[in-house]
Chain A
Amino acid sequence: MWRWLIPLSVVPVLALLAYGFRVNPHEIPSPLVGRPAAPFVVRAFDGTEVSLAGLRGRVVVLNFWASWCYPACYEEAPALERAWRTYRDRGVAVVGVAIQDKPEASRKFIADFSLSFSNAPDPDGKISVDYGVYGVPETFFIDRAGRIRLKQTGGVTDELFRAEIEKLLGEPA
C-alpha cells in the first residue's frame, strides 16, 4: 500500500505552491503611510492650477497613471470617474497625475474616458519622485489633515474607494 505514498507526496508541494497565491513577493509597505503628504502645485491639462495646499480640509485621492499603462489604468479610470462623481459634493477631491507620458496621448486618454476630475502632467517627474512612485497605477489616499493614509499599488476598485473614503470622511477634520 505504501506505493501510493508516491503520488500522495506531491500534495504538500502543491499545497505550498497554492499558498503562494496568498502572498505577494513584490509587496513592500510604503514608508510614506502615516506621514504628511508632500506638497505640490501643478498646471492641469485644462489650464487650472491644482495644489495640495488648496485642497486642505478635503480628502484627496492622488492617482498616478499613464496612457500606455494597460490594462490596469484602463480598468481603473472609469471607477475613479464614478467615485469622483459620487463623492465630489462630500468633500472629496480626485487628482490624476500622468507620469512619463506624452501630453497628446494623456489628453486622448482623458477624452476617451470623459474624465472630469483634475488631471495634470508631471513633466519633470518631481511629484512621482516625492511620492516614491514605482509603477503605474499607484493611488494615495490623503486625509483631511494632509496625511497619507493608504497607498494602493495597482488599480483602484469601486469597493476599495468606497471603503477608504467613507472611513476618512468619518474622521474629524
Chain B
Amino acid sequence: MIPELGYGALVVGVVLAVYGALAAAAGAHTGRPALIESAQHAALAVFTLVTACFLLLAGALLTFDFSVRYVAQQTTLGTPFYYRVTAVWGALEGSILLWAWMLALYTLIVVVRHRGERDLYPWALSVMLGIIAFFLLVMTIPAPPFQRLLPVPADGRGLNPLLEDTGMITHPVALYLGFTGFTVPFAFAMAALMTGRVGDAWITTTRRWTIVAWYFLSLGLLIGGWWSYHVLGWGGYWAWDPVENAAFMPWLTGTAFLHSVMIQERRRMLKLWNISLVILTFGLTIFGTFLTRSGVIASVHAFSQGSIGAFFLTFLGLVLLSAFGLLAWRWDLLRAQGELDGILSRESAFLLNNVFLVAAAFTVFFGTVFPLLSEAVRGVKVSVGAPFFNQVNVPLFLSLIFLMGVGPLIAWRRASIDNLKRNFLGPVAIGVATAAVLHLVGVRSALAVLTLALALFTTATIALDVLRGTRARLRTGAGVVGAVTSLLLRHNRRYGGFGIHLGILLVALGVTGSQAWSVQTEATLKPGQVVELAGYRVRFDGLSAVQESTHARVVGTFTVSNGGGAPIVMHPSKKFYPHEQAPIAGVDYRMGFREDLYLVLGDFARDGSEATVKALVNRLVSWIWIGGLVLTLGALLAIVPDDKRA
C-alpha cells in the first residue's frame, strides 16, 4: 500500500503545485484576488501532501517494509530506531523529499506572513510553487522514494555506515534549511523583475529570510566539518571535496549578498549586482544538488544516480536563463542611482568584500569543475586538490578578515583622516603588537602570525565599538548590564553582525591553529609499549571484540598520560560492516581548548599481540565549534524583530 499511496500523493502534488504556480501568476497578472487565494490553497495542499509522503516513508522505514525499495536499501533488521528515522533523508530519494518538504514549509510561511499583499507576493508565490513542482516531479520520475521492490528481500542492505552518526539528524537538516531558504529571496527578486518594482521592497521583505538561510547554511557547513572530524578519522574537518564545495559556494555568494544589500538600502546603489547575487546564490544551491546527485564529478560522498542529473541540469538551465533573461529585460530599471563618493568609505569596503567573496566562489567553482574541463578540452583526467584551493583562497580570506574590521567602522561616503585615526589607530596598534608578541614567543609560521594579528585587529575594532556604545549609554545613567543589553537590542542588526563576525574569527583561529601547529605520529605497538607525542604517552593495553546490531567492532584499549593528572583510557576502534569492503574507523578523542588528542586504530594482529595506532594532537580545533556557537548567538540577535526602532 505504502508505495502506491506515496506515489499517488506525489503525482497529485505535482499537479497542484503546477496549478498553484499558474494561478498565482495569473492572479498577479490580472489582479484577481480569487486566483491568488486559490494558489494559496494549492500551497497548503502541497504542504499537506509532502508531509504525508514524509510520514509514509518514515512509517515504512520504522516498520521495515522491505517492499519499498528505498527501505531495503537504507535499513537492515538490525538498524536501530534512531537511524531508521534519519534514513528518511539518508539517501538520494529521501533527501529530495526532505528538500521538497522544507520548500513547501517555507512557502507556507511566506503565505501566512504575506497574504493580502498585492505587489510582489503573488509572483513570489508563483515562483516558489514552480520550484516545488520541479522537486516533486523529480520524485515521480528519476528518483522515486516509493518504488516497489519485487521480490521482497528477507533483509535490507543498510544505511551507509558512515552515516550512522548523530550528526546525521542535524547536518542535512541545517544544510537543507539553508539551501532551500535562499529560494525565498530568489522568489521575491524574480517578483521584483517581473513587476519592474526593482527598488528596495524585495530586499527589505526578504532580509530576515536571507539571514535565516545563511545561518542554517553556515551551521550545516560547520556540522559537516564536525562530522568529518569525528567520523572519518583522518583528523581533518574540511577537504575541498566537490560536495563540500557545493555547499560552500552559495555560502560565499550569500555572504556577499548579505553585505551588498546594505549598500542598496543605504545608498540606492548595486541593484543589478544584488539581483545577480541572489540569482547566483540560488543557482549555486541547485548546482550543488546537481553536482552531488549526477555522478558527473568524483567525490567521496556523492550519491551518484542515473537520469536525475539531466533533470537537475535542465532545471538549472531554465532557472539561470530565465532569471538572467529577466535581468537583461529590466536592465534600464536596474541602473544604479547612487555614485561612489570616495575610495576610503564604507561603500568601497563592502564592494571589496563582495569582490573577494565572489572571487573565492569563482575559484572554488573553477577548481571543482576543472577536472571536467580538462577532460573535455584535453582528454586528460586530473583531480584538483586542497593545495590549489588553499593557495588561492587563503589570501582572499585574510583580506576578508581585514575588511571585517574596517567595514563596520569606517564612515559612509568618504572617511576623513580623523575618522580613520579615531577608529583604527588603537586596533592597528593591537594587531601590530600581536604580531610582535607572537614573533617574540617563537611563532615562526608567517601565515599564522598574519592571521592572528588580523583577527586581533578585527576583534579590537568590535570591542572598541561596543565599548563606545556602552559608554554613551552609561552617561544616561543606566547600569553596565542594562547599558549593554539596550545597546545590543536597539542596534540588533549591527551587533548581531558583530557576533557573527566574532564567530567567524574564532573559526579562523581554529583553522589557523590546526593547520599551523597540529602534530601526528603513527606506531605499531605490542601490549605495554608506549608511543610519545607532544607530551602525551600513549600505551597500548590490548584489543577486544564487540558485536553491535549492525556491525562487529574491534576495540583497542590505550592508556594515555600527560605529565601530571590521572591517566585516561581511550578506545579507538575499527568497525566491520557485513556489506562494506573496508572497515570504518571509530575515532576516540579528548577535546580541549588548547588541543585535542585524537586516536585512530590502524591495522592489528587478530590475536591482539600487535596494533598500529595513529595519534594526532590537533591544536585549537575546538575553537571552530565554539565559533559556531558564537555565530549562532549573533545570528539570533540579528533576526530579532527590530520594529521598535521604527
Contacts and interface: CB of A to CB of B under 8 A. Distances in A.
Interface of A: 3-4, 6-7, 9-11, 14, 16-21, 23-26, 66-71, 74, 100, 102, 104-105, 108-109, 112-113, 134-135
Interface in B580-615: 581
A21 B149 CA distance: 27
B178 interface: no
B76 to A, nearest CB: 8
- Main secondary structure, interface of A, reads helix
B537 interface: no
Contacts of A4: 325, 328
B296 A20 contact: yes
A10 B154 contact: no
Interface in B284-307: 290, 294-298, 304
Contacts of A108: 153-154
Interface in B392-427: none
Contacts of A6: 276, 324, 327-328
Interface string B538-552: 000000000000000
**What are the 3 closest A-B residue pairs judged by CB atoms, nearest first?**
A20-B296, A25-B298, A7-B324
A109 B276 CA distance: 54
Contacts of B151: 112-113
B105 to A, nearest CB: 29
B156 interface: yes
Given A16-B376, A18-B313, A10 B320 contact: yes
B55 interface: no
Contacts of A135: 581
A112 B150 CA distance: 9
A79 B130 CA distance: 40
Interface string B499-527: 00000000000000000000000000000
A25 B371 contact: yes
B157 interface: yes
A14 B296 CA distance: 12
Interface size class of B (residues with CB under 8 A): 35 or more
Contact of B297 (A3, A7, A20): A20
B376 A105 contact: no
Given A6-B324, A26-B298, A105 B153 contact: yes
Given A24-B295, A100-B579, A14 B313 contact: yes
A69 B376 contact: no
A135 B317 CA distance: 34
Given A17-B313, A24-B295, A112-B151, 19 more contacts: A7-B325, A10-B317, A10-B320, A11-B321, A14-B316, A14-B320, A18-B313, A19-B372, A20-B294, A21-B310, A23-B296, A25-B296, A25-B298, A25-B371, A25-B381, A68-B158, A70-B149, A105-B155, A108-B154
A11 B155 CA distance: 46
A47 to B, nearest CB: 22
B369 interface: yes
Interface-centre pick from A9, A10, A105 (highest chain B CB count, 10 A):
A10
Given A17-B369, A17-B372, A25-B297, A67 B327 contact: no
B578 interface: yes
Interface string B112-152: 00000000000000000000000000000000000001010
A150 B276 CA distance: 50
B93 to A, nearest CB: 12
Contacts of B373: 16
Nearest to A28: B381
B206 interface: no
B157 A69 contact: yes
B328 A21 contact: no
Contacts of A10: 317, 320-321, 324
A20 B328 contact: no
A84 to B, nearest CB: 19
A164 B411 CA distance: 74
A126 to B, nearest CB: 14
Contacts of B317: 10, 14
A20 B372 contact: yes
A105 B154 contact: yes
B72 interface: yes
B279 to A, nearest CB: 10
28 contacts: A3-B328, A3-B331, A4-B325, A7-B325, A10-B317, A14-B317, A16-B373, A16-B376, A17-B290, A17-B313, A18-B313, A21-B294, A21-B296, A21-B310, A67-B153, A68-B153, A68-B157, A69-B157, A70-B69, A70-B73, A71-B149, A74-B149, A100-B578, A100-B579, A104-B154, A108-B153, A112-B151, A113-B151
